[in-house]
Amino acid sequence: MGKSGKGQRIGILTAGGDCPGINAAIRGVGKTAIVKYDMKIIGISDGFSGMINKEYRELTEHDLSGILTMGGTILGTSREKPFKKNGKGKNEISKPALIKHFYEQMELDCLVCIGGNGTLKTAHLLSLEGLNVVGIPKTIDNDVWGTDVTFGFDSAVNIAAEAIDRLHSTANSHKRIMIIEVMGHTAGWIALYSGVAAGGDVILIPEIEYSEEKIAEYLIRRVEENKPYSIVVVAEGIKNPTKDRSAAQYLSRRINEMTGLESRETVLGYIQRGGTPYPMDRVLATRYGTAAADMIARRDYGQMVALRNNDIISVPLGEVSGKLKLVDPNDPLVLQAKNMGTSFGN
């Protein structure tokens, strides 16, 4: 550890759920590190599993060409959480100790961790163990604290909005209530943005408790006002008392029982995470990646790159770790949608 920028060996891993834009971020870090700083890039396979099992390969500038528009991650990912109880025998070496050991054996000067909340928490714990770590926030959920936006979010919103757009015509033809479920276990960002973008009549997010009665009244009133169909956009993490049905399935049945209106549900699922990133995510991921390489050259470790008012800044991983960025029920976009008559079920 402690060489000057030139010749530094930088490990990169991608962990947690994938999202559009990861390869653009890998390319941003890697190309800047190689071209501007003459560093070496070591691609770690499958998130923290690769650091535990010592699976890696050197990435040349050539390897980083042609990946900007590719979905997924060329490095692979996993949900391995090395600091969770790992089930190993008493005498076996712990996963964090293995990671530290291989970090030294691979002669890494820094490890770039591209991921969401879980990954950034692990990155912070590794930096407390003495590793030089830099975090890059990614997730379609947009719930990483300390940054205005994560890459992957814009693509997911575009995909979800396109899907909702398509539901309008079939809902209108059949005079139905269409319920569409988008991702977001704890944060309703995708539901809020895609719902507003595609004219959802009802938008339900985990941060705002909904009442079935209020939704039923609202939907019946729309029929009485000669609005023959309605679009209900729900985040997957909204209240759902059933275990075997999705939130959309549950709500679809309840709406039908309570209003007598015909309803159908659509669960968008992993389509939101797959495929080529939209241009805004390519740009954001590139900005994050190049900024991360600059941070490494400055030895600004233990930090996450972030976007604040369209400026790239760095935030200590210790500040980010363990926090979530949720939708404020009084977020201006929620209030603006309410002012236009959109229901949030409350």
Q: Which is nearer to ligand F6P, 20 or 82 (CB)?
A: 20
Q: Which is nearer to ligand F6P, 84 or 185 (CB)?
A: 185
Give one word for 20, left, alpha or beta, with left for phi > 0 and alpha for psi -120 to 50.
beta
Q: Which two tokens stand for residue 89?
A: 């025998």
Binding stretches for ligand F6P (CB under 6 A): 17, 19, 139-141, 183-185, 236, 273
Give one word for 136, left, alpha or beta, with left for phi > 0 and alpha for psi -120 to 50.
beta
The minimum distance between CB 63 and ligand F6P, in angstroms, equals 25
The minimum distance between CB 166 and ligand F6P, in angstroms, equals 21
Q: Which is nearer to ligand F6P, 64 or 320 (CB)?
A: 320
Active-site choice (18, 46, 109, 141): 141
Q: Which is nearer to ligand F6P, 44 or 140 (CB)?
A: 140
Q: Which is nearer to ligand F6P, 19 or 251 (CB)?
A: 19
The minimum distance between CB 192 and ligand F6P, in angstroms, equals 14
Q: Is 141 tagged catalytic?
A: yes
The minimum distance between CB 222 and ligand F6P, in angstroms, equals 29
Spatial neighbors of 86 by CB under 8 A, at least 6 apart, are 94, 95
Whether residue 137 contacts residue 116, with contact meaning beta carbons closer than 8 Å, is answered with: yes
Whether residue 304 contacts residue 135, with contact meaning beta carbons closer than 8 Å, is answered with: yes
The minimum distance between CB 315 and ligand F6P, in angstroms, equals 21
Phi, psi of 225 (to 5 degrees): -90, 15
Q: Which is nearer to ligand F6P, 183 or 248 (CB)?
A: 183
The CB-nearest residue to ligand F6P is 17
Half-sphere exposure of 231 (CA within 13 A, CB side): 25
The minimum distance between CB 138 and ligand F6P, in angstroms, equals 9
Q: How many angstroms separate the CA atoms of 50 and 55, rounded?
A: 5
Catalytic positions, written as ranges: 141
